[in-house]
Amino acid sequence: MCGFCGFVGSKIEKSETLQKMMDKIIYRGPDSSGMHIDGNVALGFRRLSIIDLADGAQPIYNEDKTKVIVFNGEIYNYKNIKEDLIKAGHVFYTRTDTEVILHGYEEYGEDILNKLRGMFAFCIWDTKTQELFIARDFFGIKPMYYIQNDKELIFGSEIKSILEHPNVKKELNINALQNYLSFQYGVPNETFFKGINCLPPAHYLKFKKGNLEIKRYWEPEFNIDNSKTLEETAKEIDKTFKESVEAHKISDVEVGCFLSSGVDSSYVASQFKGQKSFTVGFDYDKYNEIDYAKELAEKIGQDHYSKKITDDEYWEIIPKIQYYMDQPHADPSCVALYFVSKIASEHVKVVLSGEGADELFGGYRIYHEPFSLKYTKFLPRFVWKGISAVCNLIPVDFKGKNYINRASKSLEERFIGNANLFKQNEKKKILKDTTGMVKTKEITKPFYDKVKDKDDIVKMQYIDIHLWMVGDILLKADRMSMANSLELRVPFLDKEVFKLASTLPLEYKVTKEGQTKLAMRMAAQKNIPEEVASRKKLGFPVPTREWLKQEKYYNIVKTEFTSENANKYFKEKEIVKLLDEHYKCKKDNSRKIWAIYVFLVWYKQFFGEEQKNVNE
């Protein structure tokens, strides 16, 4: 896992600009660096050495040096592909997966993408055709950003490197703020910076003579198979997952794993007997998974390392976290992920983690919602809408109010992913500028349209795979691990695992009784204690709700809410009201408060007078 950046078509001094861009992401690859510069292109690379430690430096060239590649990620089946390429006459100079991609592109063109098994973002420059080819993996595990300025294209693993290019003007994208307040992250494919976009997962781009072409090369499809029993399915999941874990262990350095109290990371950890696992928690009983993790680590014979994060440690690191994230990110667990990555980086260079299991196997509690709302079908929706309108005139929350509001909406209206913080009317209430505001339903509609013939839970999975998982789960996993020069691998997000998960019948995922990931839990139970396999999901929980009721942290947030930066974008009276309601225990506004606070902290890092570079 590394980082790269570059540009093509820029009529500027290349080496100095490229070096500045590379320096911004030095933590992604502290082991070494490399450049390729010719008349029209500049490619820069930072390396974290994992495979072929001696000869794996990038950029890497083909035999006649007409093609050059920079690559971030890991290809787990590269040895098999390499055998075919050698038979086809290709000559290899390294043992790296990087060189396999390059020769594979020579041999198969863009068809090489569907042969790969792994996580990747890479860029290939063809010196003969003067064409740039950039691709991103199937699920968006590895990041990729770009901006087109007329005849030039500037790109990188992180936005901060792109901002170093002299032809990129740093401007806030106000539309991104509006959407962020609902989703709690920058919604792909736009970013918080005008003109800078992220390349979507399972897409590639070609850039030649100022012309940009973007195409999708793979689509996650759900095709239900009812021919297998639950037990047969669980056995197949267990077999497929174990094969994926073994593939993800490929490395020339030691590999460890993250471990919380839940089934996903525990299942991963069960395949790591005799190795190392890592956990963090807080000094609050319901926000501390350390004891659970230690107990399981002992049972499976692991060396376990943990840390309790103090309140002050958490709050002090937030500005640094938002710098690493590139965009405001209101998921509080990203800070916990930073600390667990920091602990792991002191012992290993690579960790495996449980991201993706919930999206693929139906693990989120909200996926049970279609069952819990089934009785609402006895009344027409317009009746529920009327009841909801009356209830919302009551200024205080009461039991059942949220249920009535959800009953009044179709799935497409109420579900935008695992986070849905501010509704449209609430955003209009707190924002000073709502020009051009897009309804969240318009963002999710293209995805709903692709699965309109599927059941509601598949629809929710599909939305989460394309939005929540890319914009929240995988983004924070990449940023927080790479901030600590640590490679994070996700064996659930494997092509073969998805191929099996996509065939599961509804009743093997979510049950009427409220169980989630039923078949996957049965598979996990073959390897871990039953009480762990059935435990509800927590996933490094963070006590933001409690902190915001404490005077010290209330005042920290209020200072930001009443600042000049806040006054540029928010109505002070309204956002302070949210804060006061929570502080006085009138309403749980913690997630909304946190989203606004995180944006303001991030804004200071990238647009404020006190911009800081954490590398200096």
> What CA dihedral angle connects 251, 256, 260 and 263, to 10 degrees?
50
Given phi > 0 = left and psi -120 to 50 = alpha, else beta, which region is 202?
Answer: left
Judge contact between 145 and 159, C-beta under 8 A: yes
Burial (0-12, 13-18, 19+ Cβ within 10 Å), 194: middle
Own/partner contacts of 25-29, CB < 8 Å, gap of 24 or more, are 25/156, 25/157, 25/158, 25/160, 25/161, 26/615, 27/482, 27/483, 27/484, 27/485, 27/615, 28/1, 28/2, 28/3, 28/72, 28/157, 28/158, 28/482, 28/485, 29/2, 29/3, 29/485
CA 344 vs CA 75, 338, 351, 480, 584: distances in Å: 22, 10, 8, 12, 39
Give just the sign of the alpha carbon dihedral 460, 431, 324, 214. Answer: positive
- Taking Cα atoms as reference points, which of 9, 10, 33 lies closest to residue 23? 33
- Residues facing residue 303 across a β-bridge: 276
The interaxial angle of helices 78-87 and 97-108, nearest 10 deg, is 50
Helices (H), 415-550: 424-430, 440-450, 456-466, 468, 474-482, 495-501, 518-524, 530-533, 544-547
Amino acid at 492: F
Task: Round to whole Å and give the CA distance between 520 and 238.
Answer: 8
- Maximum CA extent, the chain: 74
User: Which residues on neighbouring strands pair with residue 60, listed in sequence order?
Assistant: 69
**Is-contact 367 516, C-beta < 8 A?**
yes
The CB density around residue 121, as the number of other CB atoms within 10 Å, is 27
Question: Can you tell me whether residue 279 is helix, strand or coil?
Answer: strand
Phi, psi of 360 (to 5 degrees): -80, -35
Structure tokens at 566: 């806040």
And the tokens for 580? 């006061």
Q: Which helix (H) or strand (E) holds 145?
A: strand 145-149
Handedness of CA 566, 567, 570, 573 (dihedral sign): positive
Selecting among 2, 5, 123, 334, the annotated active-site residue is: 2
Q: Is 61 helix (H, G, I), strand (E, B) or coil?
A: strand
Q: What are the CA-CA distances from residue 425 to residues 197, 309, 346, 366, 590 (Å)?
A: 27, 37, 47, 23, 18
Q: Establish whether 123 is a catalytic residue.
A: no
Angle between helices 572-583 and 590-606 (to 10 degrees): 130
| Alpha helix stretches (DSSP H) within 67-123 | 78-87, 97-108
Q: Which residues are catalytic?
A: 2
